């Protein structure tokens, strides 16, 4: 079937039908095709009025994107120029309305004596993920290449170029994390019909995160005792003497964690990027706005606009993800020694096995609680989860995860804007599981047989520490260091994990984000806030 047509105003109806048949054979939906043909008809009329000749129309496909290219030879003429004018007395004003409604899908350029208008019919939802994946592969190749050049040059490229790119990107994301989380949660709760609805949805989300965290810790204990039972190689003496320095290793108690949730002032959490406190203030403000209802319309509008502003800023930063993915993977591959990977292969297998079991638990949740098929999710999720694996930060992925939930899974904005930011802070299931496995392994390698009471204490502290951990890279090391300080296990044994934790952390992040998505999806299904057509598509 041809993808090129010459369309004239006189026969536009008949030729549009032919074009419609061709477009419907692509991945474009009927709604996308209908709106695109309306735009096409208006633009062809304008182009032919200028040139007096039929317009060449071509269907273009690129990385899953589908667009229509309209080309007309003649004097320079931009049929979209009038969209910038809002003169209601103009003859073009009414004709402009349909073009203005879809202005984001239109672009104009002048090339080789032709006036060319491009209409975007369909955007591939996975396009950005595919580009990021390609950049990851390129980063792996670059990391391997660095191992073959002189070390001084390789260190310079890794530390001065790639590390700089990675740091700049993460700093830009960190700059926006607190306001994005605050305004997303506040806006979501403020739009609820009242405190009863807010309490019901919040209760479902939080209880799901807490229950799955307990399950993750139990899985961690199971994997730890299964993989590291019997004779286990002992740690070298160098790792049982002096303790390695781990930034953030502080003494934490249950009491201090609970007291630390409520800040002393409303600005402090954002300045210090204390995400638990930011969430508390956001939930507090959102619930108050929900209860007050129409009395606070002006404040709600301001908060909604602020949310739009910061999400747009985050979107601008996120556009650099492929570059950050390339740099991150190059650094990871270059810095990992083969001997380290072989020494810890059993540890990685235990993490992978535990993650698979945890994913199966989530699939069961989709069926048993959400009462929907897990197959559409299982088809869509793996490609997206490469993004959190690459960035190793669930907080950095917040806007991407929200976008994935809404556009690919059909989760409403109300649920996703609340569940995802909250999950990025308190849902650290993958991290909790890996931390538990790590402590069991280190205890066995140190020849320690801890009593049941100590393991229960470690499980409880892991749950509390994981809930309060920031969704940033290598949080697990800080949690492990804190746990070791309250057990007979030497703190210096942590040095055995530092070299490989970058890989473990990426697996944990993907598992954490998977939990955030499934929980939001299941809650949305229970609240009838899940678009089944989008989910099954």
Per-residue pLDDT tens digits for 55-71: 888 888 877 788 899 89
Residue with tokens 């040059």: 153
Query: Number of C-alpha atoms within 13 angstroms, CB side, residue 161?
Result: 14
Identify the CATH assignment for 4-124 out of 3.90.550.10, 1.10.287.70, 3.40.47.10, 3.30.565.10: 3.30.565.10
The pLDDT of residue 353: 92
Helix 501-526 and helix 475-484, axial crossing angle in degrees, nearest 10 = 100
CB neighbour burial string for 331-343, b if at least 16 within 10 angstroms, e if fewer? bbbbebeeeeeee
User: Is 355 in contact with 361 (CB distance < 8 Å)?
Assistant: no
- The DSSP code sequence of 321-386 is HHHHHHHHHHHHHHH--HHHHHHTHHHHHHHHHHHHHHHHHHHHHHHHTT-S-SHHHHHHHHHHTH
The pLDDT of residue 246: 44
Measured in whole angstroms, the distance separating CA 367 from the mean position of its chain's CA atoms is: 23
The percent of residues in the chain predicted with pLDDT above 70, rounded, is: 82
Alpha-carbon distance 463 to 258, whole Å?
13
Alpha-carbon distance 148 to 144, whole Å?
7
The pLDDT of residue 338: 58
Do 128-536 and 4-124 have the same topology in CATH? no
Give the H or E element holding residue 516.
helix 501-526
Give the H or E element holding residue 6.
strand 4-7
Closest CA to 473 of 419, 403, 396: 396
Q: What is the pLDDT of residues 383-400, one digit of tens each?
A: 888 888 877 778 778 888
Beta-carbon contacts of 106 under 8 Å, excluding residues fewer than 6 positions away, are 39, 43, 80, 99, 117, 118, 119, 120
Q: Which residues pair with 60 in a beta bridge?
A: 67
Residue 370's φ and ψ, nearest 5 degrees, are -80, -20
Alpha-carbon distance 145 to 9, whole Å?
57
If one counts every other C-beta atom within 10 angstroms of the C-beta of residue 239, the result is 20
Alpha-carbon distance 61 to 3, whole Å?
10
Query: Number of C-alpha atoms within 13 angstroms, CB side, residue 3?
Result: 12
Low-confidence stretches of the chain (pLDDT beneath 50): 1-2, 238, 242-252, 339-340
User: Is 434 in contact with 507 (CB distance < 8 Å)?
Assistant: yes
Closest CA to 396 of 421, 426, 377, 428: 421
pTM across the whole model: 0.60
Query: Domain 128-536, what fold?
Result: 1.10.3860
Measured in whole angstroms, the distance separating CA 250 from the mean position of its chain's CA atoms is: 29
Domain boundaries, the chain: 4-124, 128-536
């Amino acid at each position: 079937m041809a993808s090129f047509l010459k369309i004239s105003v006189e026969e536009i109806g008949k030729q549009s039908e032919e074009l419609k048949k061709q477009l419907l054979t692509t991945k474009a939906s009927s709604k996308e095709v209908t709106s695109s043909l309306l735009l096409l008809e208006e633009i062809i009329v304008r182009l032919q009025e200028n040139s007096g000749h039929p317009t060449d129309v071509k269907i273009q496909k690129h990385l899953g994107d589908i667009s229509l290219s309209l080309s007309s030879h003649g004097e320079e003429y931009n049929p979209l120029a009038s969209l910038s004018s809002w003169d209601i007395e103009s003859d073009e004003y009414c004709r402009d309305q349909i073009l203005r409604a879809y202005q984001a899908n239109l672009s104009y350029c002048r090339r080789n004596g032709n006036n060319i208008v491009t209409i975007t019919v369909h955007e591939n939802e996975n396009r950005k993920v595919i580009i990021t994946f390609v950049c990851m592969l390129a980063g792996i190749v670059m990391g391997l290449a660095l191992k073959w050049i002189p070390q001084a040059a390789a260190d310079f490229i890794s530390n001065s170029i790639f590390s700089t790119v990675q740091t700049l990107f993460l700093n830009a994301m960190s700059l926006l994390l607190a306001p994005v989380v605050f305004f997303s949660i506040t806006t979501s709760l403020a739009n609820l019909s009242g405190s009863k609805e807010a309490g019901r949805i919040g209760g479902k989300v939080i209880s799901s995160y807490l229950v799955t965290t307990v399950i993750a810790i139990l899985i961690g204990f199971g994997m730890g005792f299964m993989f590291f039972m019997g004779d286990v190689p002992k740690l070298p003496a160098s790792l049982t003497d002096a303790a390695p320095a781990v930034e953030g290793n502080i003494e934490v108690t249950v009491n201090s964690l609970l007291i630390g949730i409520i800040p002393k002032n409303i600005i402090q959490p954002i300045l210090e990027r204390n995400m638990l406190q930011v969430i508390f203030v956001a939930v507090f403000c959102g619930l108050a706005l929900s209860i007050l209802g129409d009395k606070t319309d002006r404040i709600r509008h301001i908060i909604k606009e602020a949310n739009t502003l910061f999400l747009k800023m985050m979107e601008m930063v996120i556009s650099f993800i492929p570059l950050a993915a390339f740099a991150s993977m190059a650094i990871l591959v270059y810095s990992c020694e083969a001997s380290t990977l072989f020494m810890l292969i059993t540890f990685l297998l235990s993490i992978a096995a535990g993650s698979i079991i945890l994913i199966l638990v989530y699939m069961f949740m989709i069926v048993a609680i959400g009462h929907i098929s897990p197959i559409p999710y299982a088809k869509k999720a793996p490609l997206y989860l490469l993004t959190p694996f690459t960035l190793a930060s669930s907080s950095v992925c917040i806007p991407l995860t929200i976008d994935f939930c809404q556009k690919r899974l059909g989760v409403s904005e109300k649920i996703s804007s609340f569940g995802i930011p909250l999950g990025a802070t308190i849902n650290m299931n993958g991290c909790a599981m890996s931390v538990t496995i790590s402590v069991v392994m280190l205890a066995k390698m140190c020849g320690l047989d801890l009593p049941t009471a100590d393991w229960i204490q470690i499980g409880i502290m892991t749950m509390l520490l994981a809930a309060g951990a920031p969704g940033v890279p290598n949080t697990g090391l800080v949690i492990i260091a804190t746990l070791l300080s309250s057990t007979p296990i030497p703190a210096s044994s942590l040095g055995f994990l530092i070299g490989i934790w970058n890989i473990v952390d990426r697996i944990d992040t993907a598992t954490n984000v998977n939990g955030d998505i499934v929980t939001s999806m299941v809650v949305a299904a229970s609240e009838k806030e899940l678009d089944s057509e989008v989910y099954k598509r």
